[in-house]
Structure 1
Amino acid sequence: MKHAVIISLAALAVVLYLPSALLAAEINLSVAASLKEVMNELSDSYAKTHPGVTFKKNYGGSGALAKQIDNGAPADIFISANTEWMDYLKTKKLADEKSIATLTYNVLVFAGRPGLKVSSLQELVKLEKIAIGSPKSVPAGEYAVEAFKKAGIDKQLGKKLVMARDVRECLMYADRGEVDGAFVYKTDAQQVAKTAKILFTVPQEYYPRVTYPMALTVSGAANKDAAAFYGLLRSAEAQAVLKKHGFIVK
């Protein structure tokens, strides 16, 4: 009789647990570091209206994130800070091609300590240390290198460059005064910088427009909760949040 009671209680516990277990859902985000505040706000808002949905967020350089996905890291939605790394996932057949769309745009700026007299790319040659994201994996670094080449200063800056893992690390170096300045996105300098100030905006003719493509991964396309959140990213609500954080939506 005692064993029967124990078994009945165990069965009841399983029955009570199953509904909550079945309702639980997880969405894995792999997102360019510059979108951290936007994604946190949107995911927090979504979670409040969708009980049981939890998010796992991975922020970093777009190239590093794409390589992690290629190596098997869980990801339902990928958002890059350039088209190159989205194309990489397409080539690897890891992105759901029909879901690829542009989320938003940004602008590249040079930020450094207040009072530093630098107002153009050509004037960078007089500085000692300049932080950029590693061009091999960080789009902001790729955009910066492209600008150096078009301005004809790439050889002069070669030994002055300090490489960072992502755009936020660049900004951290500038905030701490460990470099004279750093190439970051306008949104980072406006929303996140503690001491560094925008010294000049890089003219658009020097580099490709900063574009953020987004997509469900192949596995994410099969996750109905991820697909629903992806729908939110394409909504007017998401555009309003992006604008609030200084991003360009057209």
Structure 2
Amino acid sequence: MRTVMKNLVFAFCCILFLSNAAPAAELSLSVAASLKEAINELTAEYGKKKPGITFLKNYGASGALAKQIEQGAPADLFISANREWVDYLQNRKLTDEASRCAFAYNSLVFAGTTKQPVAGMKDLAKLRKIAIGSPGSVPAGEYAMESFKAAGIDKALDGKLVMAKDVREAMKYAELGEVDGAFVYRTDALLLGKQARILFAVPEGLHDRVIYPMALTTTGTGKKEAVEFLRFLQSAEARKVLEKYGFAVK
């Protein structure tokens, strides 16, 4: 009888402990595809400090992510590869304007496997196929199109452009040799295999500066855990991780 009572008391204590334990928090992140490796490392590091948090990460083209959020997809934090798609959500009152800030900066390069001498924008007309992210939703593609027009070569590239769903897909086309080269971010090009290489950097004067703004969504702004994670992403520790992957932080 004494043993039975001990077991009952133990079981009751376990139930009481579990009922009082803080539930694990889930944070949903919608992040530009080019930040994948950096964000994976940052969430892993943060998870060591806050083991009760689970991150649900959605990587993709900034425009596609913004449309998903607009349609009700769960997201507590949005990090875009340009201002346009944060503006898009802000205009629809789906992000917290007060939380908006710059996360990182990047640069645009042309990378590929072509054996033809390609040293600058004027050399692109002699190539067969060039991959870019679809400009309607992929900021890297928008920056590329902006650069073509500024360099006066947009007409010369008619019929040569292969549209990719995001910058990582454009990079894959280049790496596999399915196109002569692709316009990707410098940080993406640093991940290329030995066969592909950076052929030239796009002069920054040809396009707006590549900026990654971030903001809490209206859902995220009500979560203490999301606010704290946003603060971590602005820390010196986070900046070191970004620099490790080739991003600029100012």
Task: Give how far 1:241 is off.
Answer: 0.7
Q: How does 1:18-57 map to 2 (within 5 A)?
A: 18-20=19-21, 22-57=22-57
Aligned to 1:168: 168
Which sections of structure 1, spanning at least 5 residues, go unmatched?
none
Q: How does 1:62-211 map to 2 (within 5 A)?
A: 62-113=62-113, 115-190=115-190, 192-194=191-193, 195-211=195-211
Contact 2:114 2:180 in 1 (8 A): no
Supply the AA of the counterpart residue of 2:211.
Answer: T
Task: Give how far 1:18 is off.
Answer: 2.5
Supply the AA of the counterpart residue of 1:238.
Answer: A
Overall identity of the aligned pairs, in %? 58
Task: Give how far 1:15 is off.
Answer: 3.4
Supply the AA of the counterpart residue of 1:18.
Answer: S
Q: Distance in 1 between matches of 2:116 and 2:238?
A: 36
**1:120-169: CA deviations, max 9, x gaps?**
11110111110000000000000000001111111121211110011101
Aligned to 2:18: 17
Task: Give how far 1:9 is off.
Answer: 9.7
**CA RMSD, Structure 1 to Structure 2 (Å):** 1.8
Task: Give how far 1:10 is off.
Answer: 8.9
1:75 aligned counterpart, secondary structure: coil
1:232 and 2:232 aligned: yes
Q: Distance in 2 between matches of 1:19 and 1:172?
A: 49
Q: Distance in 2 between matches of 1:63 and 1:31?
A: 11
Aligned residue-pair number: 243
2:159 aligned counterpart, secondary structure: helix
Contact 2:114 2:181 in 1 (8 A): no
Contact 1:76 1:216 in 2 (8 A): yes
Q: Distance in 1 between matches of 2:137 and 2:109?
A: 19
2:89 aligned counterpart, secondary structure: helix
Which sections of structure 2, spanning at least 5 residues, go unmatched?
none
Relative to the length of structure 2, the TM-score reads 0.93
